[in-house]
Amino acid sequence: MNQEERHQISRRSFLQAVGLAGGAAALAACTPNAAPTASSGSATTPVASSGEQVVNFLWTDSQNTHQPLIKDFETATGIKVNQTQVSYNDLLNKITTSVEGGADVDVVEMDTIWTAQFASAGWVEDISDKITDAIKSDVPESALSAVTYNGKLYGMPWFNSAKHLFYNEKLLKDAGFDAPPATLDEFVEQAKATTKEGQWGSTWCWKQAEGMICDWVAIMFTNKDAQILDANGQAVFNEMGGTDALQWMVDILYTHKAADPASLENTETEVLRALETGTYALTYNWEGTLPEANDPAKSQAAPNVKIGLLPGSKDVKSASVNGSEGWAILANAQRKDNAWKLLEYMVSPAWQKQAALTIGDYPVLSSLYSDPELEKNIADFALYGEQFNYLAVRPQVPGYAQKSDIIQRYLHEALLQKMTPKEAMDAAVDEVNKANNTP
């Protein structure tokens, strides 16, 4: 997916909900991949004085929105956090050069799509034995999946992020439906019933980009036996749900004619804008689509847009895709004990709740989704928390970007009807496995 779009959609609207977004400055402040300022750019990490307890941290808080939380950690532990802050688009290169150049860095921000790459290369520490029972009991496996590779934990999840169902309640009611679709079959039924002249039953972000992969994964995992990779790391999605998911996508466009053809060129932001016209009934998008879609100053759909769980099947209640990031300790870190204390604090209720209230990070702690203050400040907050329990992860493979490009290309070929879904998925699996097996 487009990381910048996801963060802008989710965090901007969360902050509007809690009354904390003060115009363009607040939007820039709550976007992790905004350009770094001169004072917070990728400066050399400070060197601690002799005997000082420190931890060196490389991440994307380039607008300093999390600095009060960092100060809280320093006060609570006596450990100084020396930060190197960069834009999201520069982060992977900065981590790579830091590791390969032997820079003095202890903790790094790690996107879920990098977990396999970092873990397989031996860049990050296996912290499986450090995760306490208290953390395991409150952080669902779906959130931990963002930092898991081959059954081992290589980091701590930072925030929750997923695709959600957004629907125009008025359009559904006008078509005779009292509730949003609970299954993909019901989605098709409602999308067909709400498609008519000047109105579409659904719209999607199926441009050849990461957002399309995210929707495909969410649809695929409505199959209880869905599998992207086998135990040996070989792609098997053509036989384990991927072809069926792609067939469903093709069918809703061409057989049912219940999806706007513009979906093939849409990004997440364009899907949001379409929903705001009031002429689309159903869509998938990231958390935070509300309340902007219900702001009468911006949206003709206001106040009719609601959120629901993404559809499942007769065997699966719901299925979405994990879009979060995490923090990881580098394998060559010089201060691993201090690094662990930082990760442990970041997953504490103190950090997670304050980050939700002041920055817009959706918590990874299940217990916070029944917190009265958070429930008061954002509508349907508990429903977001429920969706975060039904997350699948994209292929956890080294060199994910290359494999994603392959899958995107074949998905789009089928959506353009240049290949059948089976031909596209068979070809994608073959090419991904060849890439996996190339030294």
pLDDT at 288: 79
Unique residue bearing structure tokens 């061409």: 254
d(CA 408, CA 425): 10
Give 331-337 contacts, CB < 8 A, sequence gap 24+: 331/122, 331/123, 331/124, 331/125, 332/99, 332/102, 333/105, 333/106, 333/107, 333/125, 334/104, 334/106, 335/54, 335/55, 335/56, 335/106, 336/106, 336/125
Which residues 6+ apart lie within 8 Å of 127 measured at CB?
153, 154, 155, 156, 329, 340, 343
pLDDT at 115: 96
d(CA 26, CA 20): 8
d(CA 314, CA 316): 6
pLDDT tens across the length of the chain (439 residues):
344 444 545 444 444 444 443 322 222 222 333 322 223 333 333 344 445 799 999 999 978 999 999 999 999 999 999 999 999 999 999 999 999 999 999 999 999 999 999 999 999 999 999 999 999 999 999 899 999 999 999 999 999 999 999 999 999 999 999 999 999 999 999 999 999 999 999 999 999 999 999 999 999 999 999 999 998 989 999 999 999 999 999 999 999 999 999 999 999 999 999 999 999 999 999 987 988 999 999 999 999 999 999 999 999 999 999 999 999 999 999 999 999 999 999 999 999 999 999 888 999 999 999 999 999 988 899 999 999 999 999 988 888 999 999 999 999 999 999 999 999 999 999 999 999 887 6
pLDDT at 12: 42
pLDDT at 377: 86
**Degrees, nearest 5: CA angle 217-247-311:** 50
List the domains of the chain with CATH numbers: 3-161+323-392 (3.40.190.10), 163-321+399-436 (3.40.190.10)
d(CA 183, CA 99): 45
pLDDT at 436: 83
pLDDT at 129: 96
pLDDT at 188: 98
Q: Which amino acid is at 219?
A: I
Residue 390 token pair: 């039904």
pLDDT at 49: 41
pLDDT at 410: 98
Q: Which of 422, 38, 371 is nearest to 246 (CA)?
A: 422
Residue 259 token pair: 């999806």
Which residues 6+ apart lie within 8 Å of 437 measured at CB?
none
